[in-house]
Amino acid sequence: MVPKRILIIDDEAGLCRMMEAILADSGYAAKGYTRSFEAVEEYRHGDWDLVISDIKMPGMDGIEVLSRIKAKSPDIPVIMITAHATVDMSIQALRKGAYDMLTKPFEPEELLYRVKNALKHNQLLTENRELRDELAGKFRFDNIIGDSPQLKELLHKVEKIAIRDTSVLITGESGTGKELIAQAVHYNSPRKGKRFVAINCGALPESILEGELFGTKKGAFTGATENRQGLLEAADGGTLFLDEVGNLPMNVQKTLLRFLQEKEFLRLGDTKPIKVDVRIISATNSDLLAEVKAGTFREDLYYRLNVVNLHLPPLRERRKDIPLLAAHFIKLQNEKFGTEIRGLSPEAFQAACDFGWPGNIRQLRNVIEACMAIESDEWISLPVLAQFIDIGAPPVADANEGDGYSAALGRFETNYLIGLLRKNGGNIESAAREAGMNMATIYRKIKKYDIKKEDYS
């Protein structure tokens, strides 16, 4: 392991040599300077992991040394040493970026303890910065798979609205990748250094959802034994993603609307408002305007959420992307399990491109994973693919020109749900699991489209 490099600056030559020896005995690479001007002149960014500097020195004092080193390396930890520590001097040094203060005289153990803490702190900062960079890279636009004109147009729009701090509503069928687009908006925005927090509004009962979003005050109800932070508070400075926002109960819609208007909210059982700075991105696979007309979704909230709309086309409308997505999922599975599947056979490739993929990208990914789990050849064959999709089914037709999108979507969802329920023997839980949806959404859509038991039994 490469030893940590420590720069020591102190006009007392004896103290300089003593610190060099103590640090060297503990495995550090330490170098001392008795002239501050020379140390700062020779300092190069990246050459050192920690700086230890006296405050009171002739010529250039320690505060000036601190300022100049921080100008070259803002993240490097600096420990300041003084024989006459005062509150004002300590505050001045800390404001200029000093990590710690060490008062003379000090024992070797104290020096080593402070050095170890400073280096550990800096390592954590470096790891967090690398993680943020990794996340930013993970959700760059060039990592969203596809080359169709529809996807390119969508990403061009994402690029423009990411830097504008407005509410975004992402619409599209289940499985089209709405959360991935929400992450792309966040990680390409000025908020990318803060948290991206997601919640599925259809996955939690009404009694729990409000507390999850806004938090609870101690004593608000039986069992509330302490103040609890909600997701809105946890996302302060960042982005809150509300998936399946159409499932929000009316009382939660009212509270969310107040937040969007006032930028403040109340925890359950509290009377003191909390202010946070959060961007709201929401998503839905339902027709919110229809729900507004039906009285199940607030019109004023709809327009607050839908400042900018991003619509994700279903996979059947961007068939050009099917080969790219399939190849991507095969590559991921090969890397995960050490397999060497080369791709789809010509017949399987054609069948995959012709299939309607009612479950969209999520279904394609699951089918590829299932095929690779049982395929013994180096190519996914048509017989293997046929175990997971109906290769004899004609492609799902796009909406006819002049036909309303909502009507076409309604017909598709009705037929898809009936087929799904029939396949799973009417078992809602199994149908929801196969579709990648939650049971609440299945029940809501059954009611919405008036699907009766005899339709699928």
Measured CA to CA, the distance from residue 155 to residue 161 in angstroms comes to 10
Q: What is the pTM of this model?
A: 0.59
Quickly list DSSP for 147-173.
--HHHHHHHHHHHHHHTS---EEEE--
Number of residues written out for the chain: 457
Which tens digits make up the pLDDT trace of 144-192? 888 889 998 999 999 999 999 999 999 999 999 999 999 999 999 999 9
Average pLDDT over residues 395-413: 54
Residue 129: pLDDT band with limits 50, 70, 90 = low
DSSP reduced 3-state for 219: coil
Which residues are within 8 A (CB) of 391 and not within 5 positions of it... i.e. 6 or more apart? 351, 354, 355, 382, 385
Which tens digits make up the pLDDT trace of 435-454? 766 676 777 778 888 888 88
Measured CA to CA, the distance from residue 95 to residue 74 in angstroms comes to 13
In the predicted structure, residue 212 carries a pLDDT above the cut 80: yes
For residues 308 and 101, the model is more confident at 308
Measured CA to CA, the distance from residue 327 to residue 372 in angstroms comes to 12
Q: What was the pLDDT predicted at 86?
A: 61
Q: What was the pLDDT predicted at 249?
A: 92
Average pLDDT over residues 281-302: 95
Alpha helices in 340-404, H assignment, sequence order: 346-354, 360-374, 382-385
Share of the chain above pLDDT 90, in %: 56
Q: What was the pLDDT predicted at 377?
A: 87
Average pLDDT over residues 205-231: 79
DSSP reduced 3-state for 242: strand
* Residue-range domains of the chain with CATH: 5-134 (3.40.50.2300), 140-313 (3.40.50.300), 316-385 (1.10.8.60), 405-456 (1.10.10.60)
Alpha helices in 215-286, H assignment, sequence order: 231-234, 250-262
Instruction: Write down the mean pLDDT value for the chain.
Output: 86
**Mean pLDDT lowest for which of 49-58, 124-133, 402-411, 412-421?**
402-411
Measured CA to CA, the distance from residue 174 to residue 432 in angstroms comes to 11
For residues 116 and 426, the model is more confident at 116
Measured CA to CA, the distance from residue 356 to residue 312 in angstroms comes to 16
Residue 430: pLDDT band with limits 50, 70, 90 = confident
In the predicted structure, residue 394 carries a pLDDT above the cut 60: no
Quickly list DSSP for 390-421.
-TTSPPPPPPPTTS-HHHHHHHHHHHHHHHHH
Q: What was the pLDDT predicted at 224?
A: 65
Average pLDDT over residues 57-70: 92
Q: Map tokens 């509300």 to a residue.
A: 242
Most confident of 110-119, 412-421, 432-441: 110-119
Average pLDDT over residues 61-84: 90
Q: Taking CA 96 as the corner, what is the angle to CA 93 and CA 97, rounded to the nearest 5 degrees?
A: 90
In the predicted structure, residue 289 carries a pLDDT above the cut 70: yes
Q: What was the pLDDT predicted at 177?
A: 92
Average pLDDT over residues 102-118: 91
DSSP reduced 3-state for 278: coil
In the predicted structure, residue 399 carries a pLDDT above the cut 50: no
In the predicted structure, residue 136 carries a pLDDT above the cut 60: no
Residue 210: pLDDT band with limits 50, 70, 90 = confident
Average pLDDT over residues 208-230: 79
Q: What was the pLDDT predicted at 87?
A: 64
Residue 128: pLDDT band with limits 50, 70, 90 = low
Average pLDDT over residues 323-327: 93
Measured CA to CA, the distance from residue 418 to residue 140 in angstroms comes to 38
Q: What was the pLDDT predicted at 393?
A: 47
* DSSP run (H or E) holding 5: strand 5-9
